[in-house]
Amino acid sequence: MKRDSILSLISTLIVIIVGLLIGLIVLLASDSNQAFPAFWTMISFGLRNMRNVGDVLLGATPIILTGLSVTFAFKTGLFNIGAAGQFAFGGYTAIYIGVQFLFLPPPLRIICSILGAALAGAVWGAIPGLLKAYRNVHEVITSIMTNYIGMYLLSYTIQNTIFDINRTTTTRMPDDSNLPSLGLNYIFREPLGEGYRASAVNLGIFIAIFLAILVYIILDKTKFGYELKACGFNKDAAKYAGINQNRNIVFSMMICGAIAGIGGALIYMNGTGLSMTALPLLAMEGFTGISVAFLGLTNPIGVIFSGIFVSYLFLGGARMQPFGFSLELVNIVVAVIIYFCAFVLVVKTNIGKIFPKSREGE
Amino acid sequence: MDMFYFIVQQSMVFMIPLLIVALGGMFSERSGIVNIALEGKMVMGAFTGVLFLNIFQNPENVSDQGILLLALLVAMITGMLISLFHAFASINLKANQIISGIAINMFAPAFAIYIAIFYLDGQFVPFINQFRIASVPILGDIPILGPLLFQRTYITTYIGFLILAVSTIVLYKTKFGLRLRACGEYPQAADSVGISVAKIRYAGVLISGALAGMGGLIWIVPISSRFGGSVAGYGFLALAVLIFGAWKPMRILFASFFFGIMQTIASSFTAIPFLLNLGIPAAFYSMAPYVATLLLLAFTSKNTQAPKAAGQPYDKGMR
Amino acid sequence: MYIIEMRNITKEFPGIIANDDITLQLKKGEIHALLGENGAGKSTLMSVLFGLYTPEKGEILKNDEKIKISGPNDATRYGIGMVHQHFKLVHNFTVLENILLGVETTKFGLLSMVEARARVVELSKKYGLSVDPDALISNITVGMQQRVEILKMLYRENEILIFDEPTAVLTPQEIDELMKIMKDLITEGKSILFITHKLDEIKRVADRCTVLRKGKLIGTVDVKTTEVETMSEMMVGRKVNLIIDKPEVKLGEVALEVTNLTVKDKITGKNVVNNVSFKVHEREIVCIAGIDGNGQSELVYAITGLMPSTNGVMVMNGVDISNLSIRKRCLAGMGHIPEDRHKHGLVLDYNLAYNLILQSYFSPQFQKYDFLRFNEIYKNSDMLIERYDIRSGQGGRTPARSMSGGNQQKTILARELSREPKLLVAVQPTRGLDVGAIEYIHKQLIIERAYGGVLLVSLELDEVMNVSDRILVMYEGEIVADVDPKKVTYTELGLYMSGAKRDVVNEELA
């Protein structure tokens, strides 16, 4: 077991280095003069001061959750490519409650927003789950469809409910509907003139980490996790063991949806004034979640670190613009990393086959 | 009647790229490699194809079909090159085919936009769209059939039907097709008679890359005059067409025609008085193709059989 | 001079020598048996011959000339062909397409099968291998599929034919037929290598026999002058007592009563199990015999709950289980050793201890407030590992995937038997195991008989005859015979299995 985790860690680091090197090569090929300063900015910006560190954590919050959503599904044998839609539904519901439920006292309103987001995400995740369990349709294809359906549906709904026509987004939430910063603004800040400029990092990052640990406990320590993983590893054996796999598929997709939905809530409740667009666009966080999940080697604890890493890259990547490079470079790097992660997973799952205790002659 | 012609002509615009890309997916999946990367391959093909047009299109002779054909060739080659990565991961390294597909889907738009911004100072690559053929000489004058198939059309429509015919013949009537299907159903059988499963699967994935790359360019040409790194989920729709078409060429034709009509309704219902008068919000028309896909798959896929070995890396040692 | 000679072949895998200095000499025109248990190294040796593995040492000669084989294509070029134990046929291709795959004939780039078809028809007449060239593989019987495999070799004009365990799936009559075909092939100038672990078949057709054990060459003997017992001892390394010591016991209560059970196939709509009725008593081993694919699997699926039944009633220990879930049947006292241990029996990515609680992880013994009790789980595995002699490198933490087939089967056996089921359904429990493991499992089944009834499904006639107290034969979804193993002969069983003979099975006699 020990050797296994060390091997995973080393191979992940190698994969990250390879991805970054390829990114550097692309930069060098584009403009060799600016490449090194730009690259240095990308890989160091997140650590330049405490505010940046806070911003890395802030950016990591939603993608840890979408990554966790994909991870949970993967462990139970499902491929949740629908995190984008579940995320958006969660976000919308949270904002709706934050804007409309002003009769609730702020703490209760925030809790309602998060729970409402979880519920909305769960409902949207249940659709591919039900279709997989009872109609035998592959969840990848149905998730793709539900992503697009959700995109148009939400665009329409926003325009007819909580619409800010000037910005073509949702209406702005009152400040007390946002997550409290819990004093983090005193830690994650940088001096600016007379005072400080603080990062908006808040309670959300704790919720994300807490949920990651919770998922780890559910999967590894409980009866429910035993059942879910059995379904994921071998659904025929799970059926043989009397596990109701159809019910588990639906449960599993609902839990994934709830996690991604909470991710949507946390991003729009982070107090930076971010609103949800009314244009029909897919939530990129859903797809970034897939990267985060595989970079974390589909381990719930690993996802915390990979989420922070990807957020770190995005924060630094955005600072390459003055050198004439676009943020898309980060996506190229991440794509390369995921591509190589596929190999790492092969090595990991085949470890038993490659170094067997004793090999049969036949 | 004009309305009917309009709908059919418009449907072709949406249907042909779906048809071509889904047929591409068919070659890959029937060889045993699941191809979720169709979207990324389309983006790459569309990008290089449009870039080629942007650079080499002659403003004096913009409706030159020759340059379009060359651009299609460029798109095909790009699609094949990007496919090599998918093939290498899934065939040589036996990696999870969905993960490597996702990596390609992520890479393609990022790459296209990165290059565009760097060299053209903007996300969009413009081209001059003058490739529409008002009426094919002689054929366009045939009553009914003329307006249906030979007016306000694109050369790519005929390329699409040609690819359909060739694909059907290749799949069912040639040595290669027989071997391809064997590799997708039971690679052990192919291997035992000395067929290289890896080579056949490479061929399947490369063909899918070529067709998807070409399909990407064919998708963008009639509907826009610039390309911004996205094919709006058409690669995924093509995947749905492939599944709904049960991995068979003729059924893929019908499936893509169905989606073509759905898309036509979604994109141009305002021009169809009957639909406009229903007063249904635009968003619901936009959703319709995806909802229809979902429903159709829910009701048809219980008994459709995917190629048996699709998605499973072939390991010689396994029996 | 030998038509094929494999000289001093050594093939190593990490941690094991699969072939250790093995020499195999095949004379032209002989049937040469290759005898050995599962795991003795027969398949590795054949893979070397086909170029799938490159040996560390040794060489291959054809007619005294050294040859190099680096893949199936080379093998075909040198005239070597093989009927694999698991047929290499594409299920949705026709017979003709399967024969031609890899050696297709084309005209103007398109497939042209007219001449090929004529040749296939001619070959099938010449050797008495009747097949319908246009039938889909999925629609023909196992026996016919084997004929297709033989035709594949003949079409390629192979002269060295290898048969890998060809009789495992056949009825005694089909085996007779195959033996005759093999002899005919010899008179036509072919040479045959016959891989098997069944001694009587070697005695019937083979001229010489090479014996392997644990990767080593034990010797090559002349079959006519060698006693069966000698060969058996060479194979296993000790004297084998194939007769099972089975004390007579008095039947107990009815453990399982199945009445008018029908199972319909969802896709074809055919009744794969048709109106079947029978009883299994406590302290009785009832064996379902039959050729693979005659509804045995579906019957078991219906009884264990893996597949819904269309009609009929099943009562276990007085409880109507017809509509109970799999879990409830299990809790009511049913144990199930499934046909495919990798598909149903084990979660290969779980470790041994986790696999041992697959049917009981939810019981208070192994979980409290929904949290798994790891101490109990590993205590349980330590106990069962010792009691059932499961060999595993890291005890309960051994990944199931890394265990040998015999130990994986013992794991399932331990899990199911330790629950002391009132009814044990065991499907081909000894498939692919060596003699030691087979003996062990048979012994355990007889011990289990003391607790309840055993329903055993087997394709191995020796097992059927030796272990069971009563035999039911299934043919095309129906029970066509209910016989006493002491009174029935192999030939009779074969006639039942192939549908040539059937009794009206009267339930009252059971």
Restricting to A residues 170-229, those with a Cβ less than 8 Å away from any Cβ of B are none
Residue A354 — pLDDT band, cuts 50, 70, 90? Answer: very low
Restricting to C residues 166-225, those with a Cβ less than 8 Å away from any Cβ of A are 214-215
Residue C195 — left, alpha, or beta (φ > 0 → left; ψ -120 to 50 → alpha)? Answer: beta
Residue-level pLDDT at C231: 87
- The chain B residue lying nearest C108, using CA atoms, is B174
Q: How far is B289 from chain C (nearest CA, A)?
A: 29
Residue-level pLDDT at C510: 41
List Cβ neighbours of C412 (8 Å cut-off, separation of 6 or more).
Answer: C337, C338, C341, C345, C346
Restricting to A residues 136-155, those with a Cβ less than 8 Å away from any Cβ of B are 136-138, 140-142, 144-146, 148-149, 152-153, 155
Residue-level pLDDT at A256: 96
Of C500, C502, C504, C432, nearest to C176 by C-alpha is C500
The reply to whether A160 falls in a domain is yes
Q: DSSP letters of A129-194?
A: HHHHHHH---HHHHHHHHHHHHHHHHHHHHHHSSEETTTTEEPPPPGGGSPP-TTHHHHSEEEETT
Residue-level pLDDT at C504: 67
3 state SS of B229: coil
Cβ contacts (< 8 Å) between C326 and chain A: which residues?
239-242
Cβ contacts (< 8 Å) between C330 and chain A: which residues?
242
Binary contact (C39, A361; C-beta < 8 A): yes
Q: How far is B195 from chain C (nearest CA, A)?
A: 6
| Interface membership of A136 toward C (CB under 8 Å) | no
User: For testing the chain B interface, which of A320, A331, A351 should be mutated: the one with the most B CBs within 10 Å?
Assistant: A331
Per residue in B195-232, pLDDT (tens digit) is 999 999 999 999 999 999 999 999 998 888 888 888 88
Closest partner residue to A326 (CB to CB) among B113, B290, B301 is: B113
Greater confidence (C264 vs A349) lies with: C264
Greater confidence (A311 vs C438) lies with: A311
C223-229 contacts: CB < 8 A, separation 24 or more? C223/C33, C228/C199, C228/C200, C228/C203
Range of the domain at B177: 2-300
Cβ contacts (< 8 Å) between B193 and chain C: which residues?
72, 76, 88, 101-103, 152
Rounded to two decimals, the pTM is 0.87
The reply to whether B315 falls in a domain is no
Report percent pLDDT > 70 for chain C: 98
- Is C42's pLDDT higher than 70? yes
- The chain C residue lying nearest A242, using CA atoms, is C327
CA gap B152, A188 in Å, rounded: 61
List the Cα angle A317/A209/B99 in 5-degree steps.
60
Q: How far is B44 from chain A (nearest CA, A)?
A: 13
CA gap C394, C371 in Å, rounded: 24
Binary contact (B303, C91; C-beta < 8 A): no
- Is C172's pLDDT higher than 50? yes
- The CATH number of residue A66's host domain is 1.10.3470
| Interface membership of A71 toward B (CB under 8 Å) | no
The reply to whether B313 falls in a domain is no
Kind of pairing, strands C470-475 and C371-372? unpaired
| Mean pLDDT, rounded, of chain C | 88
- Is C505's pLDDT higher than 90? no
Q: How far is A355 from chain C (nearest CA, A)?
A: 8
List the Cα angle B45/B46/B49 in 5-degree steps.
80
User: For testing the chain C interface, which of A222, A224, A240, A353 should be mutated: the one with the most C CBs within 10 Å?
Assistant: A240
Binary contact (A238, C14; C-beta < 8 A): no
Residue C428 — left, alpha, or beta (φ > 0 → left; ψ -120 to 50 → alpha)? Answer: left
Kind of pairing, strands C160-164 and C80-83? parallel
CA gap A114, A110 in Å, rounded: 6
Restricting to B residues 169-228, those with a Cβ less than 8 Å away from any Cβ of A are none
Cβ contacts (< 8 Å) between B98 and chain A: which residues?
79, 140
Count interface pairs A-B at CB distance under 8 A.
128
- Is C124's pLDDT higher than 60? yes
Mean pLDDT of C340-344: 88
Strand partners, C470: C286
The reply to whether A359 falls in a domain is no
Report whether A80 contacts A222 (CB < 8 A): no
Residue-level pLDDT at C73: 85
Q: How far is A23 from chain B (nearest CA, A)?
A: 11
Mean pLDDT of A315-325: 87
User: For testing the chain C interface, which of B193, B301, B303, B308 should be mutated: the one with the most C CBs within 10 Å?
Assistant: B193
- The chain A residue lying nearest B85, using CA atoms, is A339
Greater confidence (C245 vs C40) lies with: C40
The reply to whether B306 falls in a domain is no
Of A261, A235, A247, A236, nearest to A94 by C-alpha is A261
3 state SS of B30: helix
Residue-level pLDDT at B230: 86
- Owner of token pair 């084989």: C69
Per residue in C405-416, pLDDT (tens digit) is 888 999 999 999
- Is C95's pLDDT higher than 90? yes
Binary contact (B109, A331; C-beta < 8 A): yes
Binary contact (C72, B181; C-beta < 8 A): no
Cβ contacts (< 8 Å) between B186 and chain C: which residues?
88-91
3 state SS of C277: strand
Tell me the C-alpha to C-alpha distance, in Å, between residue C262 and each of A82, A239, C308, C481.
41, 22, 10, 17
Greater confidence (C33 vs C433) lies with: C33
Per residue in A190-246, pLDDT (tens digit) is 888 888 888 889 999 999 999 999 999 999 999 999 999 999 888 899 999 999 989
Q: How far is C299 from chain B (nearest CA, A)?
A: 23
Closest partner residue to B93 (CB to CB) among A153, A335, A346 is: A346
Restricting to A residues 216-255, those with a Cβ less than 8 Å away from any Cβ of C are 221-224, 226-227, 229-230, 233-234, 236-244
The reply to whether B289 falls in a domain is yes
- The chain B residue lying nearest C75, using CA atoms, is B194
Binary contact (C89, B319; C-beta < 8 A): no
Report whether A240 contacts C326 (CB < 8 A): yes
- The chain C residue lying nearest B307, using CA atoms, is C92
Residue A355 — pLDDT band, cuts 50, 70, 90? Answer: very low
Report percent pLDDT > 70 for chain A: 94
Mean pLDDT of C214-232: 89
The reply to whether A234 falls in a domain is yes
Domain boundaries, chain C: 4-236, 241-333+421-510, 342-418
Residue-level pLDDT at C153: 92
Mean pLDDT of C352-366: 93
Tokens read off for A107: 């703490």
| Interface membership of B233 toward A (CB under 8 Å) | yes
- The CATH number of residue B163's host domain is 1.10.3470
Residue-level pLDDT at B121: 77
Binary contact (C72, B186; C-beta < 8 A): no
Report whether C340 contacts C348 (CB < 8 A): no
Q: How far is A158 from chain B (nearest CA, A)?
A: 12
Cβ contacts (< 8 Å) between B83 and chain A: which residues?
none
- The chain C residue lying nearest B189, using CA atoms, is C88
Greater confidence (B223 vs A269) lies with: A269
Cβ contacts (< 8 Å) between A287 and chain B: which residues?
102, 106
Binary contact (C102, B193; C-beta < 8 A): yes
CATH topology of domain C241-333+421-510: Rossmann fold (3.40.50)
Return the number of other C-beta atoms located less than 10 Å from residue C202's C-beta. Answer: 25
How many domains does the structure of chain A reveal? 1
Question: In CATH, what is the architecture of C4-236?
Answer: 3-Layer(aba) Sandwich (3.40)
How many domains does the structure of chain B reveal? 1
Of the ranges B14-23, C227-236, C240-249, the best mean pLDDT one: B14-23
Per residue in C258-288, pLDDT (tens digit) is 999 999 987 777 889 999 999 999 999 999 9
Binary contact (C88, B179; C-beta < 8 A): no
Residue A358 — pLDDT band, cuts 50, 70, 90? Answer: very low
Binary contact (C404, A360; C-beta < 8 A): yes
- Is A282's pLDDT higher than 90? no
Mean pLDDT of A311-325: 88
The reply to whether A360 falls in a domain is no
Tell me the C-alpha to C-alpha distance, in Å, between residue C161 and each of A150, B198, C80, C198.
61, 27, 6, 19
Per residue in B255-297, pLDDT (tens digit) is 999 888 888 888 877 777 777 777 788 888 888 888 988 888 8
Cβ contacts (< 8 Å) between B175 and chain C: which residues?
104, 106, 111
What are the residue ranges in chain B where pLDDT is below 50? 318-319
User: For testing the chain B interface, which of C88, C93, C267 should be mutated: the one with the most B CBs within 10 Å?
Assistant: C88
Cβ contacts (< 8 Å) between A341 and chain B: which residues?
99
CA gap C241, C440 in Å, rounded: 12
Burial of C207 (0-12, 13-18, 19+ CB in 10 A): middle
Range of the domain at A217: 2-354
Mean pLDDT of C344-362: 92
Range of lowest pLDDT (B115-129, C147-161, C361-375):
B115-129
Residue A6 — pLDDT band, cuts 50, 70, 90? Answer: confident
The reply to whether B255 falls in a domain is yes
Return the number of other C-beta atoms located less than 10 Å from residue C277's C-beta. Answer: 15
The alpha carbon of residue C139 and the mean position of all alpha carbons in its chain are separated, in whole angstroms, by 21
Mean pLDDT of C194-223: 90
